[in-house]
Amino acid sequence: MYFPRSPRCTSKLIRGEKETDDKSAWTLYVDGSATVERSSEGLILSSPDGFTIQQAITFTFKETNNQAEYEALLSGLRLAESLGIKSLVIYSDSQIVVKQTNGEYIAKDPKLAQYQVMVRSILKTILGTTILQINREENSKADELSKLVQNTSDLSSSVYFKELRAPNTDRAEILCISSPDNWMTPYIAYLKVGTLPEDQNKARYLKYKAARFFLEDDQLYRRTFSASTLKCVDPDEADYYPWEVHEGICGDHLAAKAPAYKIIRQGYYWPTIHADVVAYVKKCSKCQKFSNVPK
């Protein structure tokens, strides 16, 4: 049974036999595990010719089961990205992770929403990615790897053991604030410590624009007259919201600037929101195929 396609990945629910059309694609099995005593993950990355990398990763911090599943997926994607893989089939037994990545479920939990933004950011660099949900029995090897960390003496020489000391979301928040390409950086620097550009014209312009912004818990917000306070988002999140509003689970393929106003009404902002949304709508393949043609 096939589900609607996401612009960056495709999801199929597999109840038994696994099917893939691309015989040259790498395969990635991921599984996360969280109990009262420990949290860990396991992943298996295999090439078409049989070369296999196995990793067993333990956490020094507590995670929920869904968060552990996301950590496993992120570790596998980063490994694939570092190897320059361009075609990848991912197998996971987590319904939440698969359907949120596919766009069928909305990540309402703030922590899972952070993971989802990071996953979509990495998926941009790996073309031809497919994510499939499989039964737990079919993911038993990755599940065994996630539990091997309880007894490191059981690890064979072909398994790489790692230790994760902090959640990936914690590192993402730090990078988000310090990124030189982030449009929010000048505003945060000025509002936090009073830093201004050396050029007087640019400094005057920044002070004028910064009057509409304020910081709360190191998060930048924008004041508005016609709407509630808006949360400022980074480029990775700004890339996700147009897709979600236009053709995600609640999207109805609105044209022109309507999706931009829907995003603003939900409380999000970035400077080029209108231009980005209009550009995204123009590139929507479904709109090109099925929308009404004006006379």
Output the tens digit of pLDDT for each of the chain's 295 residues.
333 333 344 433 333 334 555 677 899 999 998 888 888 999 999 999 888 999 888 888 888 999 999 999 999 998 998 888 888 999 999 999 999 998 888 888 888 988 998 898 888 888 788 999 999 889 888 888 877 654 444 444 477 777 888 887 776 444 444 444 578 999 999 998 888 888 999 999 999 999 999 998 888 999 988 767 899 998 878 888 887 787 766 667 777 778 888 888 888 999 999 888 888 888 887 787 777 777 6
E strand map for 211-293: 213-216, 219-222, 230-232, 268-269
pLDDT of residue 208: 93
Domains and CATH numbers, the chain: 9-170 (3.30.420.10), 172-285 (1.10.340.70)
CA 66 to chain centre: 14
Burial class (CB in 10 A: 0-12, 13-18, 19+), 250: exposed
The CA distance from 162 to 55, in Å, is 7
228: CB partners within 8 A, 6+ apart: 267
Assess contact for 160 and 53: CB atoms under 8 A. Answer: yes
Burial class (CB in 10 A: 0-12, 13-18, 19+), 196: middle
pLDDT of residue 22: 60
Sheet of 129-133: strands edge to edge? 9-13, 129-133, 88-92, 26-34, 39-46, 52-59, 159-164
Place of tokens 């304020």: 214
pLDDT of residue 17: 38
The CA distance from 131 to 192, in Å, is 41
pTM above 0.85, yes or no: no
Assess contact for 75 and 41: CB atoms under 8 A. Answer: yes
pLDDT of residue 157: 46
pLDDT of residue 103: 86
Q: Which H or E run includes 4?
A: none
Q: What length is written for the chain? A: 295
Tokens of 112: 């899972």
Indicate if the alpha-carbon torsion angle 46, 47, 48, 49 is positive or negative.
Answer: negative
pLDDT of residue 238: 83
